[in-house]
Amino acid sequence: MGNVAMSSKNSAKGIIEILLQPLGITINGNEPYDLQVYDENFYGRVLEQGALGLGESYMEKWWDCKRLDMLFDKILKANLDEKTNIPLRFKLKQVLSRIINLQTLARAKLVAKKHYDLGNDLFHAMLDARMIYSCGYWKDAKNLDDAQTYKLDLICKKLNLKPGMRLLDIGCGWGGLAKYAAENYGVNVVGVTISEKQYTYASKYCKNLPVTIRLQDYREINEKFDRIVSVGMFEHVGHLNYGTFMKTVHHALADKGLFLLHTIGVNQFYMLPNAWISKYIFPNGNLPTISQISSASEKLFIVEDWHNFGAYYDNTLMAWHENFIHHWPSLSSKYDEQFFRMWVYYLLSCAGGFRARSLQLWQILFSKGGIEGVYHAPR
């Protein structure tokens, strides 16, 4: 099916209905994934603005859907986002993003202020007991807390942590991994974050442990570590900085050391991310492809293991959504209804994206100089 554009012969509503019909989605239908449209301007706005118009019109109550996760699963499996013309202004932004570094040292803190510093109360209500804000490992887990504990232990095992080792955690969040590694594997940890609220929380959370939390950008690291880990941070590095990131890690990693990268990834490169996600959730975020990661790392590291468990992000996001809904009454005095709809849209649209396998979650283990013999990867 070729690109669908506005024409005098087809109304905006007619075009949307034509696009949705093969997916079994009906406007104002009875299925949980059907759209309930309350404002007729919705159709033209979506055709004109794409993902941004779809998300903003949901926030403004122009439309609704009982199961956004199911809706986005269907839409993304059908590559529906590729079947509408991209407005010229977004094409111009794509051209600029090839040459303008949106994740410079000066710009990097924008995502911390916009997202991670929203309020520890929000993340405490939504996440597990350790406040781990990344994909859980659900292989044997029955609940979110177990899935995150299994994920932390999987990381520590993959890194082959030993007592007395020095571990660097790039993008340490609220300190969950740092504390777990120090308590259970006897390592000394340095965690770095650019979020002031994460820094304050993690410093207290890891008190009286061999853990140091720093308010620091990864580009400012200049010392040696036996092991390095980065969980859920590479998504904010930006494609123009992948080489700098890998060189920084290589310089900081001891010879024969191990580096584990835990990151969301995409099947093909998009110069700009989803416009709605970029505006409201993760400013200047950019998801990597396999080829981009390999290109940035190929002269520096040996890939010992590449593990994809992106399907588990669906479980994780649905658990976060359940927690968010459950705790909304205690959050509603601080966050308004538009924020509520924005956050629900974020969690459920992303769940649909992982369910559709449009998004991946990779844990990649690199070695500096190679591991002797065969690396038997924990699963």
- Taking every pair of Cα atoms in the chain, the longest distance, rounded to a whole number of angstroms, is 71
- Contact indicator for 65, 35 with CB cutoff of 8 Å: yes
| Cα gap 77→172, rounded to integer Å | 33
| Cα gap 176→180, rounded to integer Å | 6
CA 201 from centre of chain: 21
| Cα gap 70→348, rounded to integer Å | 8
At 331, the amino acid letter reads L
Give the bridge partners for 2, in sequence order: none
R_g of the chain computed on alpha carbons: 21
Is residue 350 flagged as an active site residue? yes
| Cα gap 56→39, rounded to integer Å | 13
| Cα gap 206→198, rounded to integer Å | 12
| Cα gap 11→15, rounded to integer Å | 6
Q: Which of 135, 156, 206, 350 is catalytic?
A: 350
| Cα gap 96→100, rounded to integer Å | 6
> For residue 310, how many other CB atoms are within 10 A of its CB?
18
Catalytic residue numbers, as ranges: 350
